[in-house]
Structure 1
C-alpha cells in the first residue's frame, strides 16, 4: 500500500478537525478525488472527506512515508 501525505494550508470551515501547517495522511479514494475532495485522517484519528483546496500534496522519501504511516 502506498502512503501519501499532505500539508494543511487552510482549515477554514474545519477549525476543530484540521490544523494549518500540519502533515496529514491521505487514504487514496479515486471517487473522492473526482469530486474535488481528499480522504484524510484528521485530528480525531478517523478518515473524513475534505476539499482538496485545503491541502498541498508533498513528496517524501519512501522510507519516511512508511515510518510516518505506522506512527500511532
Structure 2
C-alpha cells in the first residue's frame, strides 16, 4: 500500500501479554502515524491482514531500519 511509504515507522513487539494470538514477540511491525493514538499511549499497528489497529505503545519499541529492510517489510504489508 502506498500510504505506508510516507507515513510508516517500524516497531518490534516486546510484550504480547494480552494479544498472544495476534502478535509475535520480536517481529517487525509497521506503525502508522496517528497523533491521537500516541497521545493516548497507543500505536496504530498494521497486522498481517493489512488492517491497522490500536495497541499499547508500551508493548512495542520503535526502531529504525536500513532502507533496503524498510522496502522489504513494506512489500509484504
TM-score band by shorter chain is 0.7 to 0.9
- Tell me the equivalent position of 1:12: 17
1:54 aligns with 2:59: yes
- Runs of 5+ consecutive residues of structure 2 not aligned to the other structure: 1-5
Residues in 2 aligned to 1:65 and 1:18: alpha-carbon distance in whole angstroms:
19
TM-score (norm 2): 0.82
> Alignment length, in residue pairs?
72
TM-score (norm 1): 0.86
Larger helix proportion, structure 1 or 2? Answer: 2
What is the DSSP-based 3-state SS (H/G/I as helix, E as strand, rest coil) of the residue aligned with 2:53? Answer: strand
For the aligned residue pairs, the C-alpha RMSD in angstroms reads: 1.5
